[in-house]
Amino acid sequence: MPTAVRSHAKINLGLGIGAPRPDGFHALVTVYQTLELHDTVTVSARPARATALSLTSNDPRVPTDQRNTAWKMVFLALEKLGVTAEVEVHIEKRLPVQGGLGAGSANAVAALVGLEPELGIVGKDHAFSTFGRKAPEGWGAQQRDWRARRLEVAAQVGSDVPLFLIGGTVLGLDRGQEVYPLPDLESIWCVVALPETGVSTPQAFRDWDALCAAEGLTAEASTDKLKMLSRAYASAFAGTQQTGSSGVVSTGDDLAGPQGFALVRTGIMSWIENDFERVVFAQHPSLREIKRILFGTGTPEAALYASLSGSGSALFGLYQTRGDAEAACARLQSAGVQSQLTKTLPRTVYWREMLL
């Protein structure tokens, strides 16, 4: 029986970027948040003498070869597990193929989460979450070991892949692949705006590099900036929770209850920014205008918060009520901008409902 898995989108509630590093990457401090919006990934697999993968999608824009992150994930996971298998993966696209929502990275994790029960690494009765649950009775050493190693495998596939092995509200550090669970935001209404404009992430990073050079932002200064930002996020999101000396919240199993809504409402998020806006809005002024429409400042249905997600071009707004979110969709429609109404997805629900 094939295993079907929900593959959720993410937004970035904030994104601080450092100066370019010698390895070609940029240090980041970000807060990822998973959304209810999702694709469906179906996996069937059986052990075989040699590994063979067949990848299909209902959307012709999805690459069905080694360019696909789900493809990379399946091959890498099988290699690391020391297993050869015949695998079929089907990606049913419901999410827009739009930058900033992490859809391709989520597809990679969904392919892995589907592959695991197919290969008998874990039973079909529960999702094999990296975070939050004790290893089930009867797990062998290899399975326990795999549970820790899959985060490294995800990081090899892409910088924003590991976050989908945590889900909910997630602090991302280093190049975005070093992930820590934050206390969940209570589910909030969210509108995702989907402009026709495309944004190239490598170009956005190059524009950021030019900005750093122009403003004289050195590697040392940006390290200090990001360290402070990491501490600020950890304490804002963690509330009364203990934080370690690194400023990162504990990754223990017991998280405080949802408090994010209060956090947004009381304006703590007013200082949270996405650094990409500085370069992406300069290149694509229409996106700045869409952020303004999402905010709806001065209307009774104004957003609690609105921002570019990742390097875009997707943007999002967070709203107190469904009515406020619907009003934002209507404002966007009047401006000729497509949008989707959704909610933020807490970690517990993310894992509970991952397997279909």
- Least Å distance, CB 224 to ligand C5P, is 18
Among positions 51, 84, 197, 201, the unique one binding ligand C5P when judged by CB under 6 A? 201
- Min CB(355)–ligand C5P separation in Å: 26
Measured from the CB atom, is 95 or 329 closer to ligand C5P? 95
Instruction: Pick the binder of ligand C5P from 128, 146, 164, 205 (CB under 6 A).
Output: 205
Catalytic residue among 39, 93, 160, 207: 160
Q: How far is the CB of 93 from ligand C5P (least distance, A)?
A: 19
| Nearest to ligand C5P of 206, 352 (CB atom) | 206
Report in angstroms how near the CB of residue 67 gets to ligand C5P at its nearest: 12
Q: Which stretch binds ligand C5P (CB under 6 A): 126-134, 199-207, 285-293, 325-333?
A: 199-207
Count, residues near ligand C5P per rule CB under 6 A: 11
Question: Does residue 10 touch ligand C5P according to CB under 6 A?
Answer: no
Q: Which of 12, 68, 129, 159 binds ligand C5P (CB under 6 A)?
A: 159
What is the C-alpha separation between 334 and 248, in angstroms, rounded? 42
Per-residue three-class SS string for the chain: CCEEEEEEEEEEEEEEEEEECCCCCEEEEEEEEEEEEEEEEEEEEEECCCCEEEEEECCCCCCCCCCCHHHHHHHHHHHHHCCCEEEEEEEECCCCCCCCCCHHHHHHHHHHHHHHHHCCCCCCCCCCCCCCCCCCCCCCHHHHHHHHHHHHHHHHHCCCCHHHHCCCEEEEECCCCEEEECCCCCCCEEEEEECCCCCCHHHHHHHHHHHHHHHCCCHHHHHHHHHHHHHHHHHHHHCCCCECCCCCECCCCCCCCCCHHHHHHCCHHHHCCECHHHHHHHHCHHHHHHHHHHHCCCCCCCCCEEEECCCCCCEEEEECCHHHHHHHHHHHHHCCCEEEEEEECCHHHHHHCCEC
Task: Map residues 263-302 to x or -, x wherever contact with ligand C5P holds by CB under 6 A.
Answer: ----------------------------------------
Cβ closest to ligand C5P, residue 201 vs residue 348? 201
Site string for ligand C5P, 165-184 (x = CB under 6 A): ----------xx--------
Of the candidate residues 16, 99, 117, 158, the single one contacting ligand C5P (CB under 6 A): 158
Q: Among this protein's residues, is 10 annotated catalytic?
A: yes
List the catalytic residues. 10, 160
Footprint on this chain of ligand C5P (rule: CB under 6 A): 24-26, 28, 158-159, 175-176, 201-202, 205
